[in-house]
Structures are given as C-alpha cells and as structure tokens.
Chains A and B, each alone.
Chain A
C-alpha cells in the first residue's frame, strides 16, 4: 500500500484539477438545466477561448489572470449572440433542433480554428507556471491553487445571480415552467441566450485558468468536455451542486488511478466511477429520481 505521504498530495492534486473540470461542467449543466439540450459546441468554444487567451498573451501581452476579465464578458456576449441569433432561430421553435445546431456549430468553430491556426500545439510562458506553495508535506502548484479559488469564486457568483437577481430567478423559472414564465412576461429567448452566455463565460474563465500550464490546439477542448459531460451525468443532469461535487470526485479519481495504474491510464478511473454510479444511482448523485 502507498504511504499517506504520496496519497494525500495525490488527492489534493485531484481536487485542484477537479475544480477546473467543475467550471467546464458548470457551463454544460447550466445550459442543459435550462435549455434541456446538450451543448455540443462546448468543447469547440473552450478551444476558441484557449486560443483567445493565448493570443491575448502573445499579441497584447496580457497575463491570462488579467485577460480573464476581458474574455469572460466577451465570451458571454459571444454565447448570447450565438444562442439568440443563430441557435435559437435555426431551431424554428423546436428545442430539440438546438442540439443539432450546436453540433453543426462545433464543426464550424473547430474547422475555422484549424484553418486559421493549423493543428500546431501552442503554449505560453508565464513566470508563475512552475511556482509552488510549500505545505511541509507536499507542494502545491500555484496556477492550480489560483484555479481552485477562482472556480469557487465563480460558483459563488453564479449562486448569487441565480438566487438574488430577477434574471437568475427568471432563468430558474424558465428551466421548469416555460409557459408560466412566458405569461409572467419573461422573454424566454432572452433567458435562453443569457444562460448560453453564462455557460460560455464559464468556458472562457476555465480557459484562462488552464492556459498557464496547459497547451492549446484546435481540438483540445474535446478532451475536457468529454470529462465534463461525464461529470454532468454523474452529478445529475442540470444540477449545479452535482456538477461541483462530481467534478471534484472525478478529479480525485483521475489522480488516484494515475497514481496506481500509471499516468496514461488515469482516465480509466473516471469511467469506472461513472459506470458504478450509474449502476447504483442512474439519475446521478444529485439528480431527481424519476
């Protein structure tokens, strides 16, 4: 058996990685909870956001932790416009069609990135990329700690929006009772677009937290979104606490199975946990029972 000296750092690292997954999953589950569709463009938008953060650093010299304050609103706007003027109208009033439109959008975005930037993998150099915090028994990578804190700040901000603002209440109302919401004067198309915008802003924030230690290429988002989708199902479709808890669980599972089975088999742990949870609780950890 491995000693706690190895196990505990692995768990902590898993939690730190899980937080970034949580942010991507949060966007996905938010959109699913309100629009009732899987956003297939989520991965492509993450790739696009990583490119945006990359070029903000290379061309404008903006540190990702600074450019996040520009990219989050920019991607909120992008998501809003995509939903309001492309996905929504193209689905002609049938919500199920939106799923197909997001799939088409994913193909377009990925290929546009491929055309513009080729398949090259790019990285940025920031001074704090390899800085660590010494806890005595282990070292924590600074970018991961920043990421972890930022994710919980974002989750808290989302909770405040959802609970205390009329826009947040309207989003929750539309999620469960569309006709009632319309008759209360809530513009459903606007609420859909705001929700899609919030989900896209989550992706942009995740990109800025990832880029200091990660790389970018036109397909990089897909790997994350596969994990994020697993988390969304694991936590319960549309459940925000489910996404957070599920993501941390998945992060730890990945880290531990990496430790026991070797780095290249790390993701096996994710899917093992996934299968077990679905066998025992098909609606997910926080999902409403059917």
Chain B
C-alpha cells in the first residue's frame, strides 16, 4: 500500500437516525488501485459508500480524499474533487435521454471535456451510442448499469466507487463487467468495488476488505484472502 493513500477512512461510525450501522471502519485505497469491499446483504456496504460520497453524514471518524478531510463536505464538493459514486440500483434518470444522462455526469466536473468524454463512453459502450436519444427508463437492466458507469466516467473520476454493479446482471454480462473494471483501472482510475460477488471481485481487486455487521473483520491482498480458510468457509462455500 501507498504511504499516502488516495482515500483513507478511519474509525468511521455512520448510520441512519439513532441506528448505527458502521461501527468504526478503517479502509484505504491507494492511487490507481482496485480495492474490493465484500460482504453479504445488510452488513453496511451501501452505508459506507453513502457516507464516503457525502449523502450520509458521518457520526464519528474521518474520511480523507487526496489529502483533504471530506467527512463534513456535501456531495457536490466531493464530486468536484473527483470522487464519483455509482450507486446500487443504478439510479439513472429514467425520464431523460441516454445522452442527457451522460451529460449530467459532467454537471459538476469536467464540463469542458463533455463532448470528448461522451465519445469516449460511447467507444466503451457502443450500445449506449445506438440508444443515445432513447429515454434511460426504456433500457434493460444491463444497459442501465452501463449508463450509470458511463455517467460516472463523464466526471473524469480519480476514484470511482461501484456499488454492487453486478447485481441483477446475467452471468455473461457479469464477465463483461469485470473485464470493464480492469479496463477502467488501466486508465489510471482507482476503484472501490463493493460487491457480494466474492470470487470474481477477488480476481480483479488488488486488495479486499471483508465487512461483517458494520466492521471490517478481515483484510489483505486478494491472493492471500483467496486462500484464507475462514473466508473460504464463509463466502466461497469450500
């Protein structure tokens, strides 16, 4: 790991109202790294993402991104810094065209490069180019996932958080997705990949954290985790 990580979360407590979901999470993502956060449903993965991207306010602890404390900042400011969160369930704008969805990805950041980045996204996802004037609500689940990722790329992210991107995709599309994640990473973009799909995530990620009941119970290099007997038993069914 880098001595000065791109994203450093330490002792993070967060939740909804009185309910605390995260009980002191520590996590780091280095520049250009793919880091996976793994865990089953309801362990706090989405809460972690929402707190990092500023939608939820941290109750305690710190979040540093590219040398700035961001735990008190709101989403527009955090987006401006280049930390982009592609949410679970895609959250595309169903009433807007595919093209308008992408353009809004550069609402806050990289607006000057809109056209060029849109062409770039269309290069990665030719299907979106074909459907650019169709409304996003009429796309299939897989296409909406592409659109959500494309919208994230429009902001020229330094760190891209992908929240359960493989959810609801066919096995073939999941293969494509993980190939795409590596391709995005090769452009120098760091990724925080939050997934239930443990096997495939460990294949693309450099390092991973295992989240259980709002705490990190295990972390390390992916190779090392793949052979961890506890992880094998709990998540890989071996």
**A binding-site residues for B, Cβ under 8 Å:** 166, 169-170, 172-173, 175-177, 179-187
* Given A169-B96, A169-B104, 17 extra CB contacts under 8 A: A166-B103, A170-B104, A173-B104, A176-B93, A176-B95, A179-B87, A180-B87, A180-B90, A180-B148, A183-B53, A183-B91, A184-B104, A184-B105, A184-B108, A184-B151, A185-B80, A186-B104
Assess whether B35 is interfacial by the CB under 8 Å rule. Answer: no
Q: List 23 A-B contacts (CB under 8 A).
A: A166-B103, A169-B96, A169-B107, A172-B93, A172-B96, A173-B104, A180-B87, A180-B91, A180-B92, A180-B93, A181-B104, A182-B55, A183-B55, A183-B75, A183-B79, A183-B84, A183-B87, A184-B151, A185-B75, A185-B79, A185-B107, A186-B108, A187-B76
Residue of B nearest to A174 (CB): B93
Closest CB of chain B to A257's CB: distance in Å?
36
Measured CA separation A177–B151 after assembly (Å):
14
User: CB within 8 Å of A: which of B54-83?
Assistant: 55, 74-76, 79-80
Counting chain B residues whose Cβ lies within 8 A of the other chain, the interface size class is 20 to 34
B interface residues with partner A (beta carbon < 8 Å): 53, 55, 74-76, 79-80, 84-87, 90-96, 100, 103-105, 107-109, 111, 148, 151, 155
Chain B residues, CB < 8 A from A177: 91-94
Task: Tell me the complex Cα distance, A60–B10, Å.
Answer: 62
Q: Which residue of A lies closest to B74 (CB)?
A: A187
The CA-CA distance from A147 to B79 in the complex, in Å, is 44
B111 contact set on A, CB distance < 8 A: 166
Distance from A19 Cβ to chain B, minimum over Cβ atoms (Å): 26
Contact B85 A183 (CB under 8 A): yes
- What are the residues of chain B within 8 A of A180 when measuring CB–CB? 87, 90-93, 148
Contact for A185 among B87, B92, B103, B155, CB less than 8 A: B155
Q: A32 → chain B, closest Cβ, in Å?
A: 15
